Amino acid sequence: MTPDGPEFSQIAVGFWRLHEWNFSTKDIIHFIENALEQGITTFDHADIYGDYGNEEAFGTALKERPDLREKMELVTKCGICLTTENRPNHYIQHYNTTADYIRYSVERSLKKLRTEVLDLVLIHRPDPLMDGSEMAGIFMKLIEEGKIKHVGVSNFTVDQAEMFQSKLDVPLATNQVECSLLHTNPVYDGDFDQAQKWNSSPMIWSPFAGGRLFTDSDERSSRIRSLLSELSEKYSATPGQIALAWLLKLPCNPQPVLGTGKTDRVAEAAGALEITLARQDWFRLLEASNGHPVP
């Protein structure tokens, strides 16, 4: 993922919608194999995905094909507590980043994913009650016990990430944030500057704005989509590949996380790695997103 951090693939696949794909265990295995063939080896999970069920579905596939585990990096997240039949003791949606809950979540993820170690564990959302020292302490213990390799955060502000990093004895591997041509906040709010400062690669969720980049009919989306279409002809690529290439050109070395269950979409995304946008074309897309030239 970074020169100084874990070696992850440049693009990842996220499994927050796995429960919607109607995949059998055989289908999951086929999907994993296809991603690996494309050089995509990082698989992103969270304990809450699929009403706390997607990790187990993925783990069932690894139980049948344990040889696949050594070819991938497993990422998961914890800290969000949903109100659901699967968690009857949760009477309000909340966050829990106590040491006991982090350990509980990691142990369950290890069991569900059928693995002895997690390559990266993230705090899923910043918790107003989070104690940086307590979180750092449990993560260091889990690293010492060989249960996780790396620590990261998700959706943290620059100051929140800075606070947590100050308590840790290891570098934060990533801050997973939302970014796309329809959501450029991290380009300006210091998230990506901090990533460069720390030599850590931000993971990017919703790189296509949840599909809105290609479906919304508002003026901004239409403007961006028109330019993506023009540039796709120039670069002999698809509009989706151009949108990913725009993200991949950022000097913070981001790792877009795909949310698709379609093997052809995964293969298409991998093709974006072969595209190098000209600097002026990158700024044309930024201008289309902003609706005005840079100052």
- Confirm whether 293 is domain-assigned: no
> How many distinct structural domains can be found in the chain?
1
Q: What is the mean pLDDT of residues 186-213?
A: 97
**Counting Cβ atoms within 10 Å, is residue 220 exposed (0-12), middle (13-18) or buried (19+)?**
middle
pLDDT in tens, 111-160: 999 999 999 999 999 999 999 999 999 999 999 999 999 999 999 999 99
**Residue 146 covered by a domain:** yes
Nearest to 13 by CA among 81, 72, 80, 82: 72
Taking a C-beta distance cutoff of 8 angstroms, is the pair 95, 137 a contact? no
- Band the pLDDT of 1: cuts 50, 70, 90: low
Helices 239-248 and 279-290 meet at what angle, rounded to 10? 100
Q: Which domain holds residue 112?
A: 12-215+251-273
Question: Is 39 inside a domain boundary?
Answer: yes
Would the CA dihedral through 19, 24, 29, 31 be positive or negative?
A: negative
- Inside any domain, residue 26: yes
Whether 104 is covered by a domain: the verdict is: yes
241-269: pLDDT as tens digits: 999 999 999 999 999 999 999 999 999 99
Residue 118 counted as domain residue:
yes
Q: What is the pLDDT of residues 68-115, one digit of tens each?
A: 999 999 999 999 999 999 999 999 999 999 999 999 999 999 999 999
CATH number at 186 reads 3.20.20.100
Inside any domain, residue 238: no
| Residue entry with tokens 């063939």 | 37
pLDDT digits 0-9 by tens, 11-70 = 999 999 999 999 999 999 999 999 999 999 999 999 999 999 999 999 999 999 999 999
Please give the Cα distance from 33 to 15 (Å, whole number).
15
52 part of the active site: no
- Distance set, CA 210 to CA 81, 178, 214 (Å): 23, 10, 9
| Main-chain dihedrals φ then ψ at residue 183, nearest 5 degrees | -145, 85
Q: Among 49, 95, 188, 235, which one carries the catalytic annotation?
A: 49
Does the residue 5 lie in any domain?
no
